[in-house]
A and B are shown apart, each in its own frame.
Chain A
Amino acid sequence: MAVLDAVRTIVIVMLENRSFDHMLGYLSLLEPKMAVDGLVAAPGSNTDYRRPLAKLLNDTYLNVSSSDGELHYPFHMADNPLTIDLPHDRHSVETQLGRQNSSGYFMEGFVDAYYSNCSTRMELVDPMGFFTSAEVPMMDFFARNFAVCERWFGPLPADTQPNRLMALSGETVIDRDLTLIPSTQPLMFDWLDPKGIDWCVYSDDLPFFTLFPKLWPKILTDSKHFRKFSTLTADVLNVSAASPFPKVVFIEPSFLDSPFHPDHDPNDDHPILPVGFGESFLRQIYQALTPAQNLTLWKQMVMIVTFDEHGGFYDHVSPLFPVSANCGTGNTAFQSTGARVPAFVVSSFASAGQVYHQNLDHTSMLEFVAEWLTPGEPYSPAVADRLAQPGFNTGRGRGKLSDVLDLLPRPRQAAPNEPTRVIQAVRSMFGKKMARTPNEQAFEQAARGMIQRYPAEVAQKYPELMHWQQNS
């Protein structure tokens, strides 16, 4: 029996738009420290990181604003709704990465990119903000009780859609968010279905897959493959040898870009959201997957928690390069990965407090799925070629997700207890909002298209969408 046979289920949770330093940089700054490549204070620096004196933090992280010459350093930000979404399209990311030499990008243009998109001028400017365990208690819990991957990169220096498509297939036919994703885009389901591998999507609202019209019938009527997040707890309680959980499971948050949020705030962590909602969502997921009454799934499960891309927030580690990626006819190929994003392997097979130092990105999940489910066969030539590129061997070299599972094949029996304190977040939206960005428009168009083509089915599964459509 191969070692990976002890794994029965992989759960993938992908939130939105936060960088590693922004969410987890504090792990190397504040006690009890962890050995991650995060933020480090220079000797003699001020330790009140909420003040502009945090300027003294460390020159390594310096970003200079071109417009006014002001120097900006990371600072401890409060978890409030942000004034604006931070820029993170392809052009803005280019500005954020800044100059490059043989060692990598300078990571110096985060403030410039932000200033080019708004007239706000502050000493403590949002893209340079970071959180601590007080704001991200669930991420802190994951880091200290499972494995944190400190060099997990968003696959592309671009926005949501291209990065999510890389996660779902290892390739993308677009280089930026569009209002309509071309139907030629492959998805992981196209790989799983012919092999008879069971999968399921649990979504807290409209899933990202709504942007793919070919999936609408399944999303609306196939309750085996597309389920509401609210059913997860009961489904896990029913897991047994005779009734196993699907092998590949996606848990989707309630997306900020979705057109309607009927009864709770979105929780995908996309700015301008505070992260409290996302933290709450992660706790709900963890609680649902580790019920004391039935730990069958827990003992066989690998959950990946990560983010699609950095969302315009500062990170000090250069993306990997050269890592070229084609992104559709007529578009200039990307030459590097995106910035680092937070990533955890939450599993009974991962030892507590492990820091995994080698290079990973979203396509490493696909490599793992293939290694586990089709041993000896790569997921696809595109994924194999990508991970073989020289850029992945820089630093401590290319990583493999299966290496993070250092306790295989003997899982930890008990699931650590998650923090129970109240997670607070400032409410900032109600019901409906206007679609402005391409991804918001894509969600809105998809919702309208789905309603137009399948009104009865939408009324059944997403009645709130009918209400929204009638009044918008």
Chain B
Amino acid sequence: MIARLLQHSVLRGFFLVAALTNTACSSLLDREFTPHARLSVTIPNSSATDKDRADQQGTLHVCPGTSVQLSWQIDGRSSLSAARGERYLAAQECLAVSEVASRGTGLFPTCQDSTTVFRATASHTLWRWYGACPGYGCPNADHEVIVGSSVTERVGGRPGDCVSGAFVVTNTRPALDWDDRYRVSTVSLGGLQVARTLEAIPGRTLTVRHDGKIATFRTGVTTSDVFHSGRVAGSWELVLSGCDSPPPALTINVEADCSR
């Protein structure tokens, strides 16, 4: 069989894998190897409650120099890696691929001042040796951690029906996803579409409620410091008065930095 493998590998690389799958053990591999990876990432200093932690989490935002807690569950041969940079933009490895136990947790540094994508990979010795995965089953679970000393976060959503003379959108940011050191600096209208909606109808307002505070936007009032020093995490409620001509979405931009 070895001679057969070598011959194939020299002639046409991809037949090597085909040959491997065509050995007597291939059905065993199929049965016992169902590639699957799950990865969750949490911020150790997060103020998230246990209830928050029970919820499914999203993209994380952390201040530079923060390490994050990774928990993984990977069927098949397991490895972790991390890449620096936003997706599709010349990502560079900043944490070498390292093999890990199929289940575990650990504290990992983020790439210095750069968005970091942690990747859990399910693989198998043979496929790893060859440098490829069987078929299309070699799933990765990617989890993006956005690292920055400041952040502009767009908050809002699509309005539904007009109820009691207003469109209401509620957008909740889980505490689990936000480094507690981020503090809001200013809040502004999210894009021209919202501003135009306010300009089009005299007296129309966009009221924003968050963290027990209220800011009101109208024509000529497009930024607010009301939420200064507050947390990003929590519920943001946006209320647009009037039922005419809603914009496609109600959105605001929340500027925050690691000032704490």
Contacts and interface: CB of A to CB of B under 8 A. Distances in A.
A467 interface: yes
Interface in B217-260: 247-249, 251
Interface stretch (A112-120, A370-378, A406-414): A112-120
Interface stretch (A61-69, A297-305, A324-332): A61-69
A121 B17 contact: no
A184 interface: no
B161 interface: yes
Interface residues of A, number: 54
A35 interface: no
A76 to B, nearest CB: 8
Interface string B195-233: 000000000000000000000000000000000000000
Contacts of B141: 83, 118-120
Interface in A19-69: 42-45, 50-52, 55-56, 58-60, 62, 64-65, 67-69
B108 interface: no
Interface string B19-49: 0011100110010001001111100000000
Contact of B143 (A55, A58, A120, A434): A120
B136 A81 contact: yes
A101 B34 CA distance: 42
A78 B249 contact: no
Contacts of A436: 137
Q: For chain B, what secondary structure do more than half of its interface residues adopt (helix, strand, loop), or is it mixed? A: mixed
Contact of B135 (A60, A262, A430): A430
A128 B60 CA distance: 19
B161 A71 contact: no
A451 to B, nearest CB: 16
Nearest to B138: A428
B156 interface: yes
Interface in A274-311: none
A467 B87 CA distance: 40
B66 to A, nearest CB: 17
A456 B137 CA distance: 32
Interface string A341-375: 00000000000000000000000000000000000
A206 interface: no
B136 A430 contact: no
Nearest to A124: B87
Contacts of B21: 431-432, 471-472
A436 to B, nearest CB: 8
Contacts of B135: 429-434
B191 A42 contact: yes
Given A115-B56, A119-B38, A433 B142 contact: no
Contacts of A62: 156-158, 248-249, 251
B255 to A, nearest CB: 14
A467 B55 CA distance: 48
B18 interface: yes
A106 B169 CA distance: 14
B173 interface: yes
Contact of A431 (B17, B60, B247): B17
B136 A256 contact: yes
Contact of A106 (B60, B88, B158, B193): B158
A83 B37 CA distance: 11
A99 interface: yes
Given A59-B251, A71-B251, A430-B14, A122 B59 contact: yes
B191 A59 contact: yes
B80 to A, nearest CB: 14
Q: Which of A42, A59, A84 has the most CB of B within 10 A?
A: A59
A256 to B, nearest CB: 7
A68 B139 contact: no
Contacts of B193: 42, 58-59
A69 B248 CA distance: 17
B56 A56 contact: no
A71 B190 CA distance: 12
Interface string B134-158: 1111011111101000000011111
A304 B234 CA distance: 50
Contacts of B157: 62, 64, 71
A430 B132 CA distance: 9
A418 interface: no
Contacts of A323: none
Interface string B75-104: 000000000001111000000000000000
Contacts of B248: 58-60, 62
A44 B194 CA distance: 13
Contacts of A56: 191
Q: Which of B17, B18, B117, B136 has the most CB of A within 10 A?
A: B136
A430 B87 contact: no
Nearest to B143: A121
A339 interface: no
A471 B26 contact: yes
B40 A119 contact: yes
A108 interface: yes
A71 B27 contact: no
Given A68-B174, A124-B88, A429-B135, A434 B30 contact: yes
A246 B96 CA distance: 57
Contact of B139 (A42, A45, A58, A83): A83
A70 interface: yes
B136 A429 contact: yes
B112 to A, nearest CB: 19
Q: Which of A56, A70, A78 has the most CB of B within 10 A?
A: A70
A434 B174 CA distance: 38
A430 B191 contact: no
B154 A431 contact: no
A59 B58 contact: no
10 contacts: A67-B58, A68-B174, A69-B58, A69-B155, A69-B173, A70-B59, A118-B139, A119-B141, A433-B134, A434-B137
Interface of B: 14-18, 21-23, 26-27, 30, 34, 37-41, 55-60, 86-89, 117, 132-137, 139-144, 146, 154-158, 160-161, 171-174, 177, 190-194, 247-249, 251
Interface of A: 42-45, 50-52, 55-56, 58-60, 62, 64-65, 67-71, 76-78, 81, 83-84, 99, 101, 106, 108, 115, 118-124, 256, 262, 272, 427-434, 436, 467, 470-472
Q: Top 9 A-B pairs ranked by shortest CB distance?
A: A68-B58, A433-B135, A431-B18, A59-B249, A471-B22, A430-B17, A60-B248, A67-B56, A59-B248
